[in-house]
Amino acid sequence: MGLGGGANRLVLSEENFLGPMWRIKKGRRVAPLYPNSDSQLEKLIPYFGGRPLSLFLAVRNPADLMASAYSQSLVGGKVEPFKNFAEGMAFHDVRWSNVVRRLSLVPEVAEIYVWRYEDYPANFVRIMRKLVGWKLGQFVEPIARRVHSGMSQRAVEQVLQQASPTDSRAQQREMAIAARSLFPTAPENPRYSPWSQNEIEVAASAYRSDFEDVSKMEKVKVIGAWQPRT
């Protein structure tokens, strides 16, 4: 792949590069997280002409990630209780360190920039400067709104009440999208969360430990300091 105009940097941004978030086995999601991330990346390697790659990856609290994934599953037309969606999954199964380790073993990967999803607004300029260059990074402006919003607690409750086993996937998808529009996330409509306070604390502890493991890995460069969740 050649770059025109004397350019020396190509930026590709696509969350699906990592492949599916989990494997599905007998109808259940099973660890590890993003099981095909390394093989998916290796499929792209031939197109880069052997050039060293810099990867950029946001990691996220496992409790929030699982709730968000459930929300997106509903919008995709798969309506089921959260306990069914998350059956067999635990916070320790959502280990970003496993994902980063596999990616780091791809020979063409020179460095992996990692930051916490929760700290993205505070680190936006730092991330952009690493991504597109120091001079240009300061001029990139974040999108003012969420491009792909999750579902509120009320929206999820409405979908679960309305949906029937006889509904088609397309019908369930329409219900979820309508509920998300009717009850968007807002101060009066908090984001969906199926967790108790104790579970939230357990997830935060697991996340902290996992992120510390990531930060110690070869090739990893952390953007922004770790800030414990409050």
DSSP 34-46: STTHHHHHHHHGG
28 versus 128: which is more confidently predicted?
A: 128
The label of the residue with tokens 């309305």 reads 162
Task: Report whether pLDDT(102) > 80.
Answer: yes
Is the peptide bond between 32 and the residue preceding it cis, with omega within 30 degrees of 0?
yes
**The residue type at 47:** Y
Q: pLDDT per residue over 118-176, tens digit each? A: 999 999 999 999 999 999 999 999 987 777 778 999 999 999 999 999 999 999 999 99
* Alpha helices for 45-196 (secondary structure H): 62-75, 82-85, 96-104, 120-132, 134-137, 153-162, 169-182
Q: pLDDT per residue over 195-217, tens digit each? A: 999 999 999 999 999 999 999 99
What's the chain's average pLDDT? 92
